[in-house]
Amino acid sequence: MNPIIVSRLRRDASFSGERIQLTTTALELRNLSQGQGTALKLLAEGDHDDAALAGAVTTADGEAGLLRWHMLFRGLNTSGLLEHAAAVDGTAVARLFSVGRGPTLLAAAPTGPVRLSRFAEARVVDGTLTLQTPGRHLAVELMPQAAGLLGELATWNTSVPAPVLRLLATAGLLAPGGPDEDVEVAERPYAQWHPADLAFHSRTRFPASVGGYGGTYPIRDRFAPEPVSPPPAGTRTVALPVPDLDEIAAGDPSLTEVLERRRSIRAHDQRRPITLAQLGELLYRSLRRRGTMTGGDGQELADRPYPSGGAVHELEVYPLVTVCEGLAPGLWHYATDRHELELVAEPGKATEALVGQARGAAMLEADPQVVLLVAARFGRVMWKYETVAYPLVLKHVGVLYQTLYLVATAMDLAVCGLGGGDAAAFATASGRDPLLEGTVGELVLGSRPRTEE
């Protein structure tokens, strides 16, 4: 395979007269020469190499027109308006294109052994195998003729054609260093990151490396927004007493005192377990729905005691009860709009597995009295937000954790947030589709031991 470099206008651009039109904007090109206009038409039609473009310019403008064309061509690259490909006999086998915002200037082909970066991601996009490195705004498509290069690039080698290497190097897909100095392993800035962690961080914190970021409504044209609350389960329910907030406010410690007293308590008083009234007060003060509204986009929104991006409030809490005075054991769901619990699952092997996992994670000597399983109805966020949707969920989990911590501390309850959980185990116990609603956080809750008081 002896490919050459060819170029064309980026896939979402078109050229007409003196205007390059993009999806959301346009670039006006004033005083184009005949040769420049002809070359731009060629780039808009498809792939052409430098010789073909230069020939079109010199035919119309003479040799003197080449300098102006090279300056324009570089400007198009700097503006990220071009795509480049390695082509064999007129057919592209690998293509560099922009998935975000930034220049498309080609790097030089590296010399010596090369391999793919351990952070490079391969995925299928619109039926084509696509490679991208976290935080980079460029990606490379590999056609079937070149897909075998992935295997070769898994280790250091010198057999990859230079034009393909130029595309990969420009997209940041090649590992820095060499076989005798593997920077990604030897140097801390690279070594400390797992590829999945860096991909998640970079995708959500480097907006220029993605196509859509923020409230773009990526699926609004195909799906309606989810309702603000899930429908009632139709199972046994338990009404929770409504606490008197004025009375509570009169007797609560100050915020400063609560913050200073806050601790993760990994023990419960088994002789006097948490009560239904206490559980209900904690849920009411922390996450009941205080009101609803409809956004300008038609999505139902909610107001709760803790903040939520866009007021979408996708989090649901499932108290998994082992022992609670006044409430039967089992997996329950807290209905924020009705301030009641509805039974999701009776105690069994599936719920026992969740209890055991929480006990181990919290390093408790006995089963926790209650495990608060925090689940997210992902569609509430993903209907509106692109790229930042899942990070928003995690931020919401954090503020809910703190809210539960502070309220539980004020109530002299024992609470301990857990660092991880098992979404598959929750799906088994609850029957929920984990792609629609899955756990994203867990806390153990119980009565505070007198020694802790």
Cβ contact 318:302 at 8 Å: no
Question: In the CATH scheme, what is the code of domain 237-447?
Answer: 3.40.109.10
Cβ contact 104:25 at 8 Å: no
Predicted confidence (pLDDT) per residue in 114-170, tens digit: 999 999 999 999 999 999 999 999 999 999 989 888 999 999 999 999 999 999 999
What DSSP designation does 127 have?
A: T
Domain ranges of the chain: 1-211, 237-447
Element (H, E) at 52: helix 50-61
How much of the chain, in percent, has pLDDT values that exceed 90?
91
Q: Which token pair is 423?
A: 């979404």
Predicted confidence (pLDDT) per residue in 68-98, tens digit: 999 999 999 999 999 999 999 999 999 999 9
Q: Residue 452 above 60 pLDDT?
A: no
Q: Residue 277 above 80 pLDDT?
A: yes
* Per-residue three-class SS string for the chain: CCCEEEEEECCCCEEECCEEECCCCEEECCCCCHHHHHHHHHHHHCCECHHHHHHHHHHHHCCCHHHHHHHHHHHHHHCCCEEEEEEECCEEEEEEEECCCCCCCCCCCCCCCECECCCCEEEEECCEEEEECCCCCEEEEECCCCCCHHHHCCCCECCCCHHHHHHHHHCCCECCEECCEEHHHHCHHHHCCCHHHHHHHHHHHCHHHCCCCECCCCCCCCCCCCCCCCCCCCCCEEECCCCCHHHHHHHCCCHHHHHHHCCCCCCCCCCCCCEHHHHHHHHHHHHCCCEEEECCCCCEEEECCCCCHHHCCCEEEEEEECCEECECCEEEEEECCCCEEEEEECCCHHHHHHHHHHHHHHCCCCCCCEEEEEEEECHHHHCCCECCHHHHHHHHHHHHHHHHHHHHHHCCEEEEEECCCCHHHHHHHHCCCCCCEEEEEEEEEEECCCCCC
pLDDT at position 18, please? 85
Predicted confidence (pLDDT) per residue in 4-62, tens digit: 999 999 999 999 988 999 887 888 998 899 999 999 999 999 999 999 999 999 999 99
- CA gap 452, 278 in Å, rounded: 18
Question: Would the pTM of this model clear 0.85, i.e. be above it?
Answer: yes
Rg (CA), the chain: 29
How much of the chain, in percent, has pLDDT values that exceed 70?
100
pLDDT at position 23, please? 80
Predicted confidence (pLDDT) per residue in 281-310, tens digit: 999 999 999 999 999 999 999 999 999 999
